[in-house]
Amino acid sequence: MSLVDLIQRDPDAATLKLWLNKIPYARYLGMDADMQGSDILFRLPPDDKLIGNASLPALHGGVVGAFMELSGAIHLVAKMENPVLPKVINFSLDYLRASRLRETYARCSITRQGRQVANVSITAWQEDMDAPNATARAHFLIAEPNKE
């Protein structure tokens, strides 16, 4: 079943994993997602191949950004009434502290969803949710292909 078909399913924990498994880049990063009540918790397990600074060691900043962007897109799909695959328009990332080689989490919220565009904010943290490693904001185009 293709990703376009899969996103029509209710986003329970098992479905989220199916979605991630359909995206080669999400598999490469080793991302995972779970439901927490009605919220989704995204998880990036530590992996040596994701290291940017070998002496700390710390995750590559770009990887943290990519994980957050993927989290934002999947969160959006899970919350849409008529899911379509979102296209990222732009992505703005604030790095707050270096991300060490340990479990990284992300949580997202849809700040505004219009008919064509959604604004999603994403927070990533490691040990303490109140001390985020990075915050980001993404705009996604969510128009159905035949209505663009």
Partner 1 sequence: MEPLSLEEKTRFINMMGDFIPHTRGLRVALHSIAGNALTLRLPYQNELVGDPTTGILHSGAVTVLLDQTLGLSAVCSDDIAPSVTPTLDLRIDHLGVAPAGKDIYATGKVYRATRKVLFVEGYAWCESPDKPIARATGTWVRVMDINLDWVRNSKEYNT
Q: How far apart are CA 4 and CA 144, in angstroms?
A: 12
* Strand 87-95 relative to strand 104-113, pairing: unpaired
Question: Where on the phi/psi map is residue 37: left (φ > 0), alpha (ψ -120 to 50), or beta?
Answer: left
Amino acid letter, residue 15? T
Which residue of 12, 13, 14, 28 would you call a contact of partner 1, by CB under 8 A? 28
* Strand 58-59 relative to strand 51-53, pairing: antiparallel
The piece of 8-16, 47-55, 114-122, 124-132 that touches partner 1 (CB under 8 A) is 47-55
The strand pairing partners of 42, in sequence order, are 33, 106
Binding-site string for partner 1 from residue 83 to residue 102, where x marks contact by CB under 8 A and - marks none:
--x-xxxxxxxxx--x----
Q: How far apart are CA 78 and CA 55, in angstroms?
A: 38
The piece of 38-46, 57-65, 104-112, 120-128 that touches partner 1 (CB under 8 A) is 57-65
Q: How far apart are CA 92 and CA 103, in angstroms?
A: 22
Q: Which is nearer to partner 1, 25 or 109 (CB)?
A: 25
The piece of 63-71, 103-111, 114-122, 125-133 that touches partner 1 (CB under 8 A) is 63-71
Is 70 among the residues that bind partner 1 (CB under 8 A)?
yes
Is 116 among the residues that bind partner 1 (CB under 8 A)?
no
To the nearest 10°, report the CA torsion of 95, 116, 19, 132: 20
Which residue of 15, 53, 113, 121 would you call a contact of partner 1, by CB under 8 A? 53
Which residues are at the interface with partner 1 (CB under 8 A)? 2-4, 22-25, 27-29, 48-55, 59-63, 65-67, 69-70, 85, 87-95, 98
